[in-house]
Every structure is written in C-alpha cells, then in structure tokens.
Amino acid sequence: MLRRLIKKIILLVNKNSITFVITIGLSLIALNYALSFLTVRIDLSQGRAYSLSNSTKKLVKALDNKVTIKLFITSDLPAALGPLKTDVIDLVNEFKRVNRSKISVQYADPKKNTKDQDEAKKYNIPELQFSQIEKDKYAVSSSYFGIVISYKDKNELIPQATNVDSLEYDIASSIYKMSRKEDVKIGLIGFPQVLDPRQDDFYTLKSVLERQFILEPIEATDSGQQRIDSSFQALIVVDSDNHKFNDDQVAVLEKYIENGGQALIMVDGIYVSDDLTTQKANNNLFNLFKYFGLELNQDLILSKTAEVANFSTGQVGFFTVYPFWLKTDNFDEKSSELSSVSALTFPWTSSVKINNGSQFTTRILVKTTKNSWTVQGENIDVSPNSIKPPSENQVKEQNLITVSQSKKDGHVILIPSSRFIKEQFLAQGRGNVNLILNILNNYASKGALSGIRSRSVSINPLVDINDNQKDKVKYLAMLLLPIIFCLYGANRLLKRR
C-alpha cells in the first residue's frame, strides 16, 4: 500500500514537476507568514529563568494606561557586552509580548543622535566607562546602558541596566510604583540614623526598598507614643547593637500586630559583639514572641553547611568555613516568599520553637539543613579554632524563620539574626534581600511583586567523589567500549562457525 502511494507521488512529480515545486514553495511561504504572528517559546531552564514570573505577567496585563520602556544603549558597545545587550533587549521584549497594547519599547543611541543625547542628560542617565583590550592595546570607552520607564507623567530611571539577574524585578517594581493607586509606607524601627550612606549598615536594603516603598523611620525611644499609625502597611524592626525596647514600645508593637499590622522582626537570641564575646540578647521582645506562639531560644546554631569567613590573629589572616555563619536552602516549598530565593545566609543565629497550643496560626518558612546543632550558655566561645564537633544525637534540623498570624490577619515574621540584612553579610548573594522584598510584597503590597525570580541560571556541579570511585569510573570508560566490541566480534565469529 505504501509503495503504491510513493509511486503515485513520483509519477505526479515527474508529470508536473514545475507546478509541484511552485505549489510547495508558495505553501511554505504562506505557512511561514502565518506562523510569524504566533510566538511559541519553551523555557526548559531550571526555574524557568528566561521567562517572566507570574506576578510580573499579572501586573503588566492589569495596566490601565500605556507604559513606555526606552532603552538608552550605545550601538558600538565593547564586544564583551554584546551578549548582555541581547539579554536586556530580549527581557524588555518579553514585557511587550504580555501586553502589546499597553507596553511600548523604544530604542535610543545618544552617541549617534543629539536629540537622544539631550534626552539622556534630561533623565540623568550616566555615561559608563568600560575598559577592554583591543588589538593588543588597553582602551577605555564610554557607553550608555540605561533604561527610562514612563507612565502618564511619571518616570522611573534604571541608570545602569547591566545586572540582568535583577532587571525583571527592577522594571516590574518601577511599573508597579508608578501605576498603583496609593503609596505603600513602611516604618523602620531600630535602624540607626546615618548621614553618610557609605557608613550605613543597611544601605543596600534601603536603596532596594525605596524603589517600591516609602520608608519612614519611627523613633524607637519615644515611649509616650500610644500606637503606631495605621498608615504604615508594615514595620521592619531591627535589634541593632543589642538595643533594648522598653515595655511601652513592646505593648504598642503588640497592639499594632493584633489589629492587623505586619511586623518583620530581625533580632538575636544571643548577641555576639565585634570582638566575638557573647551575652544573652537584651531586646526585651521574648515575651512578645511567646504571646504570638513563637519562642526565640537563647542559643546559637552551628552547621556543617556554612559560609567562609575571614579571621585574623595579629598579623596573620586566614579564611575558613565558619559553622556559626550557616547557609541553608531548606525552605517551605508552599511558601511564595521563597520562590525567587536559592539560599539564605544567617550570621550568628538562634533557633525558634513553635508553641502549637497557642491561639495564633503559626508556620515555619525556613529551617537549617539536617547537619546542624546548637550550643547554649551566656559566654559561648565562637572563635573558629574553638568549635567542637557535635555528637550524633545533637545533629538535626533547627527552625529559623517563623510566622505567626493574628485573628485580624496581622503577622509577626521572626528572623532570628539581627545581622541578616547588614551590609557586610550580603556578599554571598541576593537571597537575603530577595526574601525581605518578597515578604513585604506579600504582606504589605498584597503579593503584587512576590515570586519574581532572579534570571541567573543555577550551576549544578557534579557531586564530588573520592579517588577510588574516580579510578573506577575512569577505567570503566576506557575499557567498556573495547569489551563491547570484543563480545560483538566473538558473537559474530561463533555464528560463522
């Protein structure tokens, strides 16, 4: 049957070969034109790193007015920045694909067009300096690589759009900030007032949050204040330098949460000073946590999954894995706050106990890895050379970040480390910052930007194996193919006989 069909097709082609070729060609052209209006993209990367997050798509689809995303990018960029330019343009075009009627993308080259150059100066887009080796010579070139996002009469600037990992969030947060109906105000309690940003331990956190929220300090020493203004959609409370909150302040905070307020609290169970001496934390918030069904233990957690720290003894400095700076990716899989977070770092953190019999709804967001243990006491030796290995029955998961919900939908989010978001501990990645953003988006902005992923692709190295296993794999790879050929040849030889 199949042979007859093939013969008929061959006869048809031979009789009307020219007509057949023209028909096929026109059909392919028509099909190609029809498919050009359809965009089919399949993102197979881990975590769908090259696709917009659902929160971003929801935000863009709900726009009630036109948004213009204008890229100020020099055409003669250094060759090394070519792939970066492509990634940025692809990302911006993804926004347009979601809502073509409301998203407009424009391009400007200030180096070639004086009008574009004047516009770049108007928006204060800086001219960036890039160094490169070209034709065996070291050269420095200047280029523009910024984005201006416009909505109605408002404009938001991304002066240096070279970080593709966070660019989706930067663009989405700018759109959200301009298009929302009312501002979201966040109160800061316990943050030291610093005039010079270079000396601010929370500079990165503040600069990121200011892109989306209005930040306003609340004076923590004002004991006469009877309540926290309901205009604050959320509070961030930090126990900076073992600060003690008085009973009046604790009562005001408790009342705010009970009445539906959202409080993100970063405090210590054990305070570790800069000279590595320890003492029990003096923040006076332990009874507040107990009231909401959480118990902050006065201990310190150690883990074999830890970050590298730099220490010095006199004139000698050294790097070592420091178990008191633990790292974890043991997250609640159902929690949207952690969808864009790959790992978190906790410097000198304490464990948290959940009191299941409380009147409040509690849950655990983050735990340590299974190879963790705790030490207790007021004078704990935290120097890297004094850490003793744990016994087998000491090693287990420990609770870290916990949440308690009041009857009026208020929340306490407890992070048991006051240094969780400090500047010097953010070098390992954006995980800690992303978590704070997601928490505030969930509880203060009602989830508007929660779950936006970093666009970096995770690198999963092969699991390290010992030398004996390496030798087995090596010799197996060397001998397996020759053995297969030998067996195949022996089989053919036996069949011939």
Q: What is the DSSP string of 83-113?
A: HHHHHHHHHHHHHHHH-TTTEEEEEE-TTT-
Distance in angstroms (rounded) separating the CA atoms of residues 476 and 484:
12
Distance in angstroms (rounded) separating the CA atoms of residues 361 and 354:
10
460 has a pLDDT exceeding 70 = no
pLDDT for the residue numbered 39: 58
Element (H, E) at 309: strand 306-313
Most confident of 66-70, 159-163, 475-479: 66-70
**Mean pLDDT, range 427-441, rounded to an integer:** 82
Q: Do domains 54-148 and 185-443 have the same CATH topology?
A: no
Distances in Å between the Cα of 314 and the Cα atoms of 303, 311, 317, 318, 381 are 27, 10, 8, 11, 19
Task: Please answer whether residues 168 and 339 qualify as being in contact, where contact means their C-beta atoms are separated by less than 8 angstroms.
Answer: no
Higher pLDDT, 287 or 127: 287
335 has a pLDDT exceeding 60 = yes
Strands 145-151 and 154-158, bridge-based pairing: antiparallel
Which of 314, 306, 282, 310 lies closest to 296, judged by CA?
A: 282
185-443: in CATH 3.40.50.880: yes
pLDDT for the residue numbered 221: 45
- In 119-129, which positions are buried (b, 16+ CB within 10 angstroms) versus exposed (e)? bbeebebebbe
| Residue found under tokens 């989830």 | 447
pLDDT for the residue numbered 462: 59
Residues 371-390 pLDDT 10s: 999 999 878 999 988 898 99
Q: Which residue stretches of 395-453 are H helix?
A: 431-443
430 has a pLDDT exceeding 90 = no
Beta bridge partners of 186: 215, 234
Residues 131-184 pLDDT 10s: 766 666 666 778 899 999 999 989 998 888 888 877 888 899 889 888 888 888
Residues 271-297 pLDDT 10s: 999 888 999 999 999 999 999 999 999
Phi and psi, residue 162, nearest 5°: -100, -5
Domain ranges in the chain are: 2-35, 54-148, 185-443, 467-497
pLDDT-derived band at 5 (thresholds 50, 70, 90) equals: low
**Mean pLDDT, range 182-205, rounded to an integer:** 87
Alpha-carbon 269 to chain mean position: 26
Task: Please answer whether residues 451 and 47 qualify as being in contact, where contact means their C-beta atoms are separated by less than 8 angstroms.
Answer: no
Distance in angstroms (rounded) separating the CA atoms of residues 390 and 302:
9
Residues 226-269 pLDDT 10s: 688 888 999 999 988 778 888 988 999 999 999 999 999 999 99
**Mean pLDDT, range 64-87, rounded to an integer:** 89
pLDDT for the residue numbered 222: 46
Distances in Å between the Cα of 359 and the Cα atoms of 362, 404, 406 are 9, 10, 8
358 has a pLDDT exceeding 50 = yes
> Quick one: tokens of 88?
């940025």
Residue type, 343: A
Which of 427, 431, 420, 426 lies closest to 240, judged by CA?
A: 420
366 has a pLDDT exceeding 70 = yes
40-54, 308-322, 365-379: the lowest-pLDDT one: 40-54
200 has a pLDDT exceeding 80 = yes
Q: CATH says 54-148 is which class?
A: alpha beta
pLDDT-derived band at 476 (thresholds 50, 70, 90) equals: confident
